[in-house]
A = this chain, B = another copy of it.
């Protein structure tokens, strides 16, 4: 394998010389800037052998480098050894990002080859800006990789299916109209959709081209007189195709999208520079009057309607039942038979699969026993899995894609008698989780304003966690969804009624254990007063929180009441879905404290 990599890099360099390129850049993104991508879009792995989910590659005649972040330092070092490819660290003090590195290392007036199809318009502009003073020319060079990568997996074109109007809560036509209204306010008449979840949401369609995300490879163009969906010709079943056509939706071949853009000549076309690739951006620039802005579909999609919220509540019951069954299985098996973190991940999927409307996991489960729990992004495999014993703490973060909604839940349970420190840490995390769950705030509030509610009790005890507190979650769509979030970083998008977020504070004691409690919640209206419109959250997730890890004296009366009320609701909602023994098990888990 290492020799193959060396050979590939040599081939790329030879082609670069032929074309007079001083550097070649591989972004590792797909044409839609998706978080998860399919094999077709993994040239980074092909060229370097690195299998992590994030990394950028630069090849020059003298150097080859992979830029990645803290999660992958060990793995990259391992996978890149003996290939001559150097690892560059990102998100560390003094880190030099790719554009800056290129500006420092490329010759003045040099030529940089990039694949415009896998580079966002906004990223292209940051390259341009960084390289401007050196007068470096950025050259479209996707063919270089294509000439080297002979067995590149094809773009998947799996079958697309429809989400019923009752599940979606809104017709395609209504969504088209709302999107067009929004872009009209920005002076645009036509919009292109490039993010796969935007397209799936707008057309009430779902697919399975990408692991964990029920989306399909596609583009769309929408104006008042034309609705065009560009998708693999095999993907649409005939019945669905005719239904769409009857609604005036033209379906075209995925690859024809770029050609079709030429027909928008002179039009004011709205596009999102963060999810539109530069091959598209170049055509827009040359032919149209492009209007850049946050995708209108992204904005509308984030605010769930009542049918979507009802769907989430339904999915939560199914998901909660699977969680309770898994927790029961773990507590029964541990100490009796050899089980590992990997077995837990398998069991979670197994139980979820029995649930109504389950399609697939919503992300790769994170199962962290003891010290593995302290590795925030720990990806469990059969090989690296620790055996689970009747002691210590087990953290498991998982979720499902149900036809009525997407779930994301973390629970941390004691496998034996917990230490005082473990209980104290858990209770502080729980207090923060409750504080955010019960937050009341005026309209216009942003995530940065309320993030600290989840951290306050940790901070008071010299603790903290290094990740965000809450991300948006799609409705039977991506488990990470924009545009809003609850984080310490500033994000101009606010929290609005109908938005669904995770609420997941934690504490990670390196080499010892990790604690995280994650519920999902929907923003709802609380009241209107002369001082404004006030919002709050409704907790959606239904699954017991391990009271064996709670120090009751550390909770206020209100917090105890919240926990008891929550457990009562969990019991009432889930009992009907469980067999007698599991119901009894749940009764115990949800006893009042």
Chain B hits for A450, CB < 8 A: 452
Chain B hits for A530, CB < 8 A: 510
Please count how many residues in chain A sit with their CB below 8 Å of the partner chain's CB atoms.
Answer: 26
Cβ B534 vs Cβ A449 within 8 A: no
Residue of B442, B460, B464, B510 near A459 (CB, 8 A) is B442
Cβ B531 vs Cβ A488 within 8 A: no
A450-487 residues with Cβ-Cβ distance < 8 A to B are 450-453, 456, 458-460, 462-464
- The copy count of this chain in the complex is 2
Any B CB within 8 A of the CB of A527? yes
Min distance, Cβ A218 to any Cβ of chain B, angstroms: 36
Q: How far is the CA of A441 from the CA of B456 in the complex (A)?
A: 8
Q: How far is the CA of A510 from the CA of B530 in the complex (A)?
A: 10
Min distance, Cβ A10 to any Cβ of chain B, angstroms: 41
Q: How far is the CA of A541 from the CA of B425 in the complex (A)?
A: 35
Any B CB within 8 A of the CB of A448? yes
Any B CB within 8 A of the CB of A133? no
A420-456 residues with Cβ-Cβ distance < 8 A to B are 440-442, 448-453, 456
Any B CB within 8 A of the CB of A149? no
Any B CB within 8 A of the CB of A490? yes
Q: How far is the CA of A440 from the CA of B464 in the complex (A)?
A: 11
Chain B hits for A534, CB < 8 A: 459, 462
Cβ A441 vs Cβ B462 within 8 A: no
Cβ A529 vs Cβ B463 within 8 A: yes
Chain B hits for A448, CB < 8 A: 448-449, 490
Chain B hits for A456, CB < 8 A: 440, 453
Chain B hits for A458, CB < 8 A: 531
Q: How far is the CA of A145 from the CA of B449 in the complex (A)?
A: 46
Cβ B459 vs Cβ A441 within 8 A: yes
Min distance, Cβ A243 to any Cβ of chain B, angstroms: 44
Cβ B452 vs Cβ A440 within 8 A: no
Cβ B529 vs Cβ A449 within 8 A: no
Q: How far is the CA of A458 from the CA of B459 in the complex (A)?
A: 23
Q: How far is the CA of A456 from the CA of B530 in the complex (A)?
A: 17
Chain B hits for A460, CB < 8 A: 440
Q: How far is the CA of A473 from the CA of B510 in the complex (A)?
A: 41
29 A-B pairs whose Cβ atoms sit less than 8 Å apart in the complex = A440-B456, A440-B459, A440-B460, A441-B452, A441-B459, A442-B459, A442-B464, A448-B448, A448-B449, A448-B490, A449-B449, A449-B451, A449-B452, A449-B488, A450-B452, A452-B452, A452-B453, A453-B456, A458-B531, A459-B534, A462-B527, A462-B529, A462-B531, A462-B534, A463-B529, A463-B531, A464-B531, A490-B490, A510-B530
The 10 closest A-B pairs by CB, nearest first: A462-B529, A464-B531, A440-B460, A440-B459, A490-B490, A463-B531, A449-B452, A462-B527, A441-B459, A442-B464
